[in-house]
Amino acid sequence: MNIHLTKSQIGLDGVAAAETVLSHVDGERGELIIAGEHVGRLAGQSSFEGVTARLWNGASKTTLSEANVRGSLGAARERAFARLPDLLPATRGMGVIDGFRAAVAGLRAEHGLEHEATIVGAFPVIAGALVRRAKGLDPVAPDPNASHAADTLRMLRGAAPETREVAALDAYFVTVCDHGMNASTFATRVVASTQADLFAAVTAGYCALTGPLHGGAPEPVLEMLDAIGTRERIKPWVDAALARGERLMGFGHRVYRVRDPRADVLKAAIERLSADGADLPFAGEVEAYIRSALRKKNPERPLETNVEFFTAILLDALAIPRQAFTPIFAVARSAGWTAHAREQQRTGRLIRPSSSYVGAMPEG
């Protein structure tokens, strides 16, 4: 009794809790494979619909094509839009991040229709409606023939996006659609392991995503860049933050011991997006200084740039409001969550670890 666990044990570091065909993270080599392909190649070759087909086919042994998924997501966006009057009242008085949680919790099965598409299709509709409501605007109806990335931007803005903007958001969606047993995917799989439905499972996934140690980091990344403000302030600001023991958002990772491969994929997408590369030089200088400061602070434990640093810059360059960053991350990650939930349900095995009791024992 009273066996205390190490920090690594409490964080389940390195514990494999599932067999998956969906994605593989190699933290030593800095590699991410999604549905059999390196993330760097996938982001150039496949659309979000294409990679979603690969994930769903892997989890459910189906043979969906990119076109099948594009069609089912378009139809699902239309159904979700029709259901907004039922979904939005639960979000009254809430901001985008919390309102998204409440609306997602209100999604439910539609008889005879694919739950995966119902969920993934609804996410950008809800995000768009909440972002526009925050500006006092009405929601924009989806275009079922548009790609998921194009329609996401259209429903946020109320105007057709440029081709290069759609390409950038699509590359982002592909890059972050799945990532091994991250915290939100684990939460999703735990709920799915009870044989609860996909709607309950992805609601848990979204809740886990909202924390700053996971998908809630990009907004603080921009706040950090704003607070630093100028080149001259990079060194004093970063040194002071580290001296106060603060964590710098967009750096460090539980699994990667080298640079997160998604950071480079997103950096390349930002370079293609911004013709004059406007946002990158300053952010690049901040990144370089933080990397060197973190190396100096802890030479034993390499802390490198993670996906969230460039996520913040990419989504900001697309004029997506900061409070929508986590819901937009969820739009992409819902492809992975739904696939993982199915894969977990198929095992029929309940995830039920144990704990080490360190409390008082009854006397006598």
As annotated, the active-site residues are 253, 308
Among 252, 261, 327, 336, binds ligand ACO (CB under 6 A): 252
Find where tokens 């008889």 sit.
111
Among 49, 178, 287, 308, binds ligand ACO (CB under 6 A): 308
65: left (phi over 0), alpha (psi -120 to 50) or beta: beta
CA atoms within 13 Å, Cβ hemisphere of 22? 29
Q: How far is the CB of 29 from ligand ACO (least distance, A)?
A: 17
Residue 301 interacts with ligand ACO (CB under 6 A): yes or no: yes
Where does this chain touch ligand ACO (CB under 6 A) — which range of 35-43, 166-174, 251-259, 349-357? 251-259
Name the residue whose CB lies closest to ligand ACO.
252
The Cα–Cα gap between 118 and 44 comes to 27
H-run or E-run covering 107 = none
Residue 213 interacts with ligand ACO (CB under 6 A): yes or no: yes
H-run or E-run covering 58 = helix 48-60
The Cα–Cα gap between 156 and 321 comes to 9
Q: How far is the CB of 195 from ligand ACO (least distance, A)?
A: 27
- The packing angle between helices 48-60 and 325-347, to 10°, is 20
Nearer to ligand ACO, 81 or 337 (CB): 337
Q: How far is the CB of 286 from ligand ACO (least distance, A)?
A: 13
Residue 217 interacts with ligand ACO (CB under 6 A): yes or no: yes
SS3 251: strand
Q: How far is the CB of 304 from ligand ACO (least distance, A)?
A: 10
Q: How far is the CB of 218 from ligand ACO (least distance, A)?
A: 8
**What does the block give as tokens for 15?**
């514990």
Nearest Cα residue to 262 out of 51, 41, 45: 41
Using CB under 6 A, which residues numbered 158 to 197 contact ligand ACO?
Answer: 182
The Cα–Cα gap between 232 and 290 comes to 14
Where does this chain touch ligand ACO (CB under 6 A) — which range of 100-108, 162-170, 185-193, 246-254? 246-254
Nearer to ligand ACO, 141 or 183 (CB): 183
Nearest Cα residue to 260 out of 166, 149, 180: 180
Among 250, 261, 327, 336, binds ligand ACO (CB under 6 A): 250
Q: How far is the CB of 333 from ligand ACO (least distance, A)?
A: 9
Nearer to ligand ACO, 117 or 307 (CB): 307
Find where tokens 């080149």 sit.
231
Compute the chain's Rg from CA coordinates.
Answer: 21
Among 23, 306, 338, 345, binds ligand ACO (CB under 6 A): 306
Nearer to ligand ACO, 133 or 214 (CB): 214
CA dihedral 34, 39, 41, 46 (to 10 degrees): 60
Interface ranges with ligand ACO (CB under 6 A): 182, 212-215, 217, 247-254, 298, 301, 303, 306-308
